[in-house]
Amino acid sequence: MLFLYLFLLYSLFWGAKRSPKGQFYTDAFSLDATLPLRGFFMLLVVFHHLSQQLVHPGSLKFLQGIGLLCVSYFFFQSGYGLTKSYRENPSYFHAFFRRRYCRLLTPFFLCNLIYLAVNAFFGVSYTPGRFLKCLAGLELVNTHAWFILTIALFTFAFYVIFRFVPGRRTRYALLFGFQLLYAAFCMHRGTGLQLFEGPWWFNSSILFLVGALFSGYESAFIRFMRQNYRMLAILSVPLFGLFYLVSVYAAGAFPYQIQDLPPLSPKMLGSWFTLLWQSLAVISFCMAVNLFSLKIRCSNPFLRFLGKISVELYLIHGLFIQLCKGQLFTLKNDALFLLLVPLLSVPSAWLLYRFVEFLEKTLLWAMLLPDRFTPSSAPHRRPQNPLSRL
């Protein structure tokens, strides 16, 4: 399995460039600069899910614990992108839901339909009511789709707060309050595989707020990072390592409760303790990635391609996992499994991406989004990229 780690390292640093000594990339957080990184983290998410299916993961056990970190980067980018777009475009909230949610949820509904069709083909029966429920996402037919629903919810909270509440500090305080309420609600739901059940729904979502804060005070943050780069670079790795190791210990010593309990009950104190350390771990991780981005520009055609199709890749790769692990056949060769699922998932994701792109260009889509193409309401470039839908 050493080959997989070498492949991941090569894909990250192939074509990478370092800024001249004493200088930094001025566009480190632009759409073009972050696209390859998002492609890389989506690739890690895919292998994270694949490693969880292995009976004897061996050296790949490391990948089983990095999903939290990878997803946190996408939460950060979502909060950052929304706030950046709002700051730079006064009319950003005009037709916000039509522009934002049609682009976000179209691949979600399409993949739900594909999963339902495949399941039905292999003998799973659905009543009309349950079929519609699964199609709408009220019952998860694809458990990986939790992230899309979470981002949709946080996007709605962002809209309400930034659209109707004056005062920058008040907005961020309310966004933090929403994060706490969301985590408390998910904790109360317990652990399962359906809506808001399981710690993955919330244990890295604090990065949405961090991304929004970073964008809101971007000039000050970047100035501080540049002026203290050497010190921050030296401290970032050990700090992240410390927070991550403590968070792993906390998750084992104080696991999230699996039964429905009031979020403020004494039995839930251990869950809040674990969430605190996991939050520190993902915040320190994303800050380390941001420091890395100021000096190193990772860019190559492979990662840029994955970045473009990342939403579709995230949604569709679970289908091939279930096909290869019992629904169609049981693939026992781990190396072949790790190779076959990505080879099937990436072309499928590209086809889905092109189909969604086709829908955007049809007359029907233009009628749904009549102001999408007018200069007065055109959004900031960041949300037009598939990854910004995350």
How would DSSP label each residue in 186-232?
HHHH-SSSSTT-SGGGTTTTHHHHHHHHHHHTHHHHHHHHHHTHHHH
* Distance of alpha carbon 199 from alpha carbon 189, whole angstroms: 10
5 found inside a domain: no
pLDDT at 381 over 60: no
Residue 366 is predicted with a pLDDT of 56
3 state SS of 18: strand
The verdict on residue 273 lying in a domain is yes
pLDDT tens string 330-342: 888 999 999 999 9
pTM for the model = 0.91
Residue 116 has pLDDT above 70, yes or no: yes
pLDDT in tens, 265-291: 888 899 999 999 999 999 999 999 999
The pLDDT of residue 384 is: 42
Residue 49, domain member (yes or no) = yes
In this structure, is residue 104 part of a structural domain?
yes
In the structure encoding, which two tokens stand for residue 250, read together?
A: 């906390």
Task: Kindly tell me if the per-residue pLDDT of 36 is higher than 90.
Answer: yes
pLDDT higher than 60, residue 357: yes
| Residue 229 near residue 19 (C-beta atoms within 8 A) | no
pLDDT at 257 over 60: yes
Residues 52-63, mean pLDDT to the nearest whole number? 92
**CA distance linking residue 315 with residue 312, whole number of Å:** 5
CB–CB of 155/78 below 8 Å?
Answer: yes
Q: Which of residues 312 and 370 earns the better pLDDT score? A: 312
The DSSP letter of residue 254 is S
pLDDT at 139: 95
- Mean pLDDT over 34-45 rounds to 96
| Residue 66 DSSP one-character state | -
**Least confidently predicted of 54-63, 108-117, 173-182, 359-368:** 359-368
Q: Is the Cα dihedral 64, 314, 246, 177 positive or negative?
A: negative
Domain that holds residue 338: 19-53+62-389
Residue 358 to residue 355: CA distance in whole angstroms:
5
pLDDT, position 383: 40
Number of Cβ within a 10 Å radius of residue 374 = 11
Q: Is residue 4 part of a domain?
A: no
Q: What is the mean pLDDT of the chain?
A: 90
The CA dihedral of 119, 114, 154, 208, to the nearest 10 degrees, is: 100
pLDDT tens across 217-245, in order?
999 999 999 999 999 999 999 999 999 99
- Give the total number of structural domains in the chain: 1
The CB density around residue 95, as the number of other CB atoms within 10 Å, is 18
109, amino acid identity: F
Neighbours of 290 (CB within 10 A): 21
pLDDT band at 387 (very low <50, low <70, confident <90, very high): very low
Distance between CA atoms of residues 313 and 389, nearest Å: 13
